[in-house]
């Protein structure tokens, strides 16, 4: 399993650029690989910050006990050991991720994520709806090998839902 610490969204007019931008949302990203070294599953979720405690909470919810986790050496990813995972840091040290074969698939998945968001959601309100956008991407990516049943599964889920008033649906945004 490979993990990374991307930020999504852009710079506000007059705001700071880069990691310090007020408009960027930190997410934790993990890609699991199959025996042939190809991506099998992805887990993307927003985190409050890239701190030891936030990554430990994310790992508790997102990673399987005892899995091997490779990261680029960001200190907060050592927190995965607190929840029973093995951690190996690959120190990038002046090199780019694309120069390291260990990060090929996580970089490819994140690039595809950002491209699909910029094409699909031109007026992206990532700070408000990040968990929904990421949840949709997770669902599509993790079920891509069984596309024949995807429509049936969505229809089944829709039919099982009770009717909800718009005010209740919108209040769910405030609860997260």
Neighbours of 84 (CB within 10 A): 13
Indicate whether 120 pLDDT > 80.
Answer: no
CB atoms within 10 A of CB 88: 11
Span 113-117, average pLDDT: 83
The tens digit of pLDDT for each residue in 45-99 reads 989 888 999 999 999 988 988 899 988 888 899 999 988 999 998 877 777 766 7
Q: Is the distance from CB of 53 to CB of 78 less than 8 angstroms?
A: no
Q: What's phi and psi for 66, nearest 5 deg?
A: 85, 0
Q: pTM of the prediction?
A: 0.76
> How high does pLDDT run on average in the chain?
82
Q: Cα–Cα–Cα angle for 154, 169, 159, nearest 5°?
A: 30
Quick one: 2-145 is in which CATH superfamily? Ribonuclease H-like superfamily/Ribonuclease H (3.30.420.10)
For the chain, the farthest-separated pair of C-alpha atoms sits apart, in whole angstroms, at: 54
Q: Where are the alpha helices (DSSP H) in the chain?
A: 52-62, 104-120, 126-142, 150-160, 166-175
- pLDDT band per the 50, 70, 90 thresholds, residue 176: very low
For the chain, give the percent of residues with pLDDT over 70.
Answer: 84
């Amino acid at each position: 399993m490979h993990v990374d610490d991307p930020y999504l969204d852009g710079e506000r007019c007059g705001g700071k650029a880069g990691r310090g931008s007020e408009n960027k949302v930190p997410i934790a990203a993990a890609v699991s690989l199959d025996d042939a070294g190809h991506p099998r599953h992805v887990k993307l979720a927003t985190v409050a910050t890239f701190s030891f405690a936030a990554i430990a909470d994310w790992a508790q919810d997102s990673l399987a006990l005892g899995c091997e986790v490779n990261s680029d050496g960001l200190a907060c990813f050592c927190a995965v050991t607190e929840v029973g995972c093995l951690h190996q840091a690959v120190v990038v040290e002046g090199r780019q991720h694309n120069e390291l074969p260990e990060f090929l698939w996580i970089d490819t998945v994140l690039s595809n994520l950002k491209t699909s968001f910029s094409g699909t959601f031109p007026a992206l309100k990532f700070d408000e709806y990040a968990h929904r956008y990421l949840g949709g991407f997770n669902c599509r990516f993790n079920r891509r090998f069984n596309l024949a049943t995807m429509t049936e599964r969505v229809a089944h889920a829709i039919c099982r839902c009770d009717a909800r008033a718009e005010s209740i649906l919108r209040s769910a945004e405030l609860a997260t």
